Amino acid sequence: MIEVEDLHVRFAETHAVKGVSFSVPQGGSFGIVGESGSGKSTVLRVISGLNPNWSGRIAIGGDEVGPKRSKSFFRRVQMVFQDPYGSLHPRQTADRALSEPLLVHGIGDIEGRILRALGEVALPESVRFRYPHQLSGGQRQRLAIARALMAEPEVLLLDEPTSALDVSIQAEVLNLLADLQQRRGLTYMLVSHNLAVVAHLCPLVGVMQHGEMVEQITTAELRAGRTCHPHTAELRALSVELEDPEEALGGVE
């Protein structure tokens, strides 16, 4: 569904992404982990069309895309950001946020679709005419996900979708994302600094460091500790150490 080949991104003097290639099958999930400045979010922004300065090859569903995207592209690909407070218009109600994608793409049955969308992300109908500041953090992120799904995209790009949430709310949002994927056959790309979150949702993980994808590893290999690159091993060790100090000391296998 998503094919990326030899992607390079340069900002002024910085070479932010240095020849990254990967592909994501339809209905699959691909995760990217890395630290700040590793280029993981830049890759996602390039695919979403938010960053036009890149070279390489990107294809979505077999169609190659250029720096400028067509309207039909944004029907197929949608993005969800870390902070829904920043991505939702503060003076638009949930109703307005949800109806706008429908108006842009000329989709009918607005009333019915909004009610179904709220139901699908488990938001009560009472939030429909509320503003973002009247919602809790978890509700805002559900609204952002509902909005991204309004135009019935095939691909959802998720940039740290749960990093700003409490762990109990994070679990609810991750479960919701898993349900939506199963129900709609969505293709996911998930970027996060949290290895456990990425591994939970994605069977394949790309590890980025200094603009390079240093390793692509299946979640099963990652869990078992069969890493190839030292940076992957380091990120894994830090994650395991916090989870289970005894296991980290004993080593795995």
Partner 1 sequence: MLVEIDNLRISFATPNGISEAVRGVSLTLGQEKLGVVGESGSGKSLTARAILKLLPGGAMMSADRLSFDGIDVLAASEREMRGIRGRRAGLILQDPKYSLNPVMPVGRQIAEAWRLHKGRAASRRNAEQAAIDLLDQVRIRNPARVARAYPHELSGGMGQRVMIAMMLAPDPELLIADEPTSALDATVQAEILRLIEDLVARRGMGLILISHDLPLISHFCDRVMVMYAGRVLERLPAGELARARHAYTRGLLDCLPSLIHPRERLATLARDPAWLTA
| Binding characters for partner 1, 63-102, by CB under 8 A (x = yes) | ----------------------------------------
In terms of CB distance, is 102 or 233 closer to partner 1? 233
Q: Which of residues 15-44 bind partner 1 (CB under 8 A)?
A: 35-36
**Contact call for residue 217 and partner 1 (CB under 8 A):** no
| 14 contributes a contact to partner 1 by CB under 8 A | no
**Min dist. Cβ of residue 160 to partner 1 (A):** 12
Alpha-carbon span 148 to 84, nearest angstrom: 12
Q: Of 114, 120, 156, 164, whose CA–CA distance to 140 is shortest?
A: 164
204 binds partner 1 (CB under 8 A): no
DSSP 8-state secondary structure symbol assigned to residue 125: G
Tell me the β-bridge partners of 79: 157
Q: For residue 78, how many other CB atoms are within 10 A of its CB?
A: 23
Q: Which residues contact 153 (CB under 8 A, 6 or more apart)?
A: 75, 76, 77, 78, 186
* Site membership for partner 1, residue 195 (CB under 8 A): yes
Contact present, 162 and 201 (Cβ < 8 Å): no
- Alpha-carbon distance of 164 to 162, in angstroms, equals 6
Q: Show the tokens assigned to 149.
A: 């799904």
Candidates 107, 178, 214, 233: give the one binding partner 1 (CB under 8 A). 178
Among 40, 113, 147, 200, binds partner 1 (CB under 8 A): 200
Shortest approach of partner 1 to residue 193 CB, angstroms? 6
Please report whether residue 197 would count as binding partner 1 according to CB under 8 A: yes
Does residue 244 belong to the site contacting partner 1 (CB under 8 A)?
yes
235 binds partner 1 (CB under 8 A): yes
Instruction: Select the span of 48-56, 103-111, 150-158, 231-239 touching partner 1 (CB under 8 A).
Output: 231-239
Spatial distance between the Cα atoms of 12 and 169, rounded to a whole number of angstroms: 39
Helix, strand, coil: what percent of the chain each, to 5? Answer: 45, 25, 30
Q: How far is the CB of 112 from partner 1 (least distance, A)?
A: 28
The residues, any chain, with a CB within 8 Å of residue 175's CB and separated by 6 or more, are: none
* Contacts to partner 1 by CB under 8 A: 35-36, 137, 166-168, 170-172, 174-175, 178, 193-197, 199-200, 219, 222-223, 234-236, 238-245, 247, 252
